[in-house]
């Protein structure tokens, strides 16, 4: 029998990336749908949540932006609010500097599409040696954004026809992060970084409160893990 043609690198990467995004699909299907319903309840046509999901792609920022669209024109307030809500992406970018090297023309979209869930997968996923790293991260990013955009559009369209009570649906995002954390916990032989993250988060929550702890937590986690990086690498190689 003749040898089968080798699979195109992009198709191979897509087949490996897709299973990694299934937990995100489950979460975004509910949360994006709820966002679409919310926009519909505010009186916006389906084009608004669809284009905002496509261009802003900021999760919680999109919920806040919906309220801003109904308020008075205040571009400076909108800018400051956006920077505060999305400030954690600064640390995501720093963490991904090495991983984004050599990704070529894919890099601008990888930067644009790096949400919390996409960062979690692209940063921690164990990519098989025969899979192109750039294509893998590209498809993780593209699939996750596609889930969000389509869910938001569908939620808005359905919301125009059937009234829904969206109370409690925002917990889906929390549940999804718990699943991702537990999956990473099972992959690690030693749980030092995970325990440090939990401890620092709890400490910052106690010191700064629930509304202000995110940014200090990210700064502290980045500083501590950067300082301990050589020691953690030595322990992993033992």
Mean pLDDT by 10 residues, the chain (238 residues): 67 93 89 86 88 88 79 74 74 87 93 91 90 95 96 91 66 62 70 82 88 77 78 65
What pLDDT, on the 0 to 100 scale, is given for residue 229? 74
What pLDDT, on the 0 to 100 scale, is given for residue 210? 79
Q: Which tokens is 162 given?
A: 């059937």
Q: Which tokens is 122 given?
A: 């692209």
Summarised one tens digit per residue, pLDDT across range 180-202 is 677 667 766 777 777 888 898 89
Torsion over CA: 152, 115, 122, 221 (sign): negative
What pLDDT, on the 0 to 100 scale, is given for residue 132? 93
**Contact present, 136 and 16 (Cβ < 8 Å):** yes
What pLDDT, on the 0 to 100 scale, is given for residue 1? 44
What pLDDT, on the 0 to 100 scale, is given for residue 27? 85
DSSP class of residue 78? H
What pLDDT, on the 0 to 100 scale, is given for residue 174? 63
Residue ranges per structural domain of the chain: 9-174, 186-238
pTM greater than 0.85: no
Whole-number Cα distances in Å, 225 to 94, 121, 147, 201, 214: 13, 18, 32, 13, 16
Distance in angstroms (rounded) separating the CA atoms of residues 205 and 209: 5
What pLDDT, on the 0 to 100 scale, is given for residue 201? 85
What pLDDT, on the 0 to 100 scale, is given for residue 195? 84
Burial (0-12, 13-18, 19+ Cβ within 10 Å), 118? buried
């Amino acid at each position: 029998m003749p040898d089968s043609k080798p699979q195109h690198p992009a198709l191979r990467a897509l087949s490996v990336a897709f299973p990694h995004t299934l937990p995100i699909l489950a979460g975004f299907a509910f949360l994006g749908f709820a966002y679409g319903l919310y926009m519909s309840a505010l009186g916006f046509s389906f084009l608004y949540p669809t284009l905002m999901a496509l261009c802003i792609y900021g999760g919680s920022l999109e919920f806040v932006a919906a309220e801003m669209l109904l308020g008075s024109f205040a571009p400076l307030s909108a800018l400051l609010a956006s920077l505060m809500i999305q400030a954690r992406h600064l640390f995501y970018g720093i963490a991904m500097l090495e991983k984004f090297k050599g990704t070529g023309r894919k890099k601008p979209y990888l930067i644009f599409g790096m949400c919390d869930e996409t960062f979690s997968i692209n940063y921690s996923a164990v990519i098989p040696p025969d899979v192109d790293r750039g294509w893998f991260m590209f498809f993780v990013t593209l699939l996750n954004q596609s889930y969000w955009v389509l869910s938001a559009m569908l939620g808005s369209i359905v919301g125009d026809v059937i009234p829904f009570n969206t109370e409690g649906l925002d917990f889906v995002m929390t549940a999804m992060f718990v699943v991702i954390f537990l999956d990473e916990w099972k992959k690690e032989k030693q749980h030092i970084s995970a325990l440090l993250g939990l401890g620092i988060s709890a400490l910052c929550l106690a010191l700064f409160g629930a509304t202000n702890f995110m940014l200090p937590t990210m700064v502290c986690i980045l500083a501590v893990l950067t300082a301990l990086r050589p020691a953690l690498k030595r322990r992993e190689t033992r």
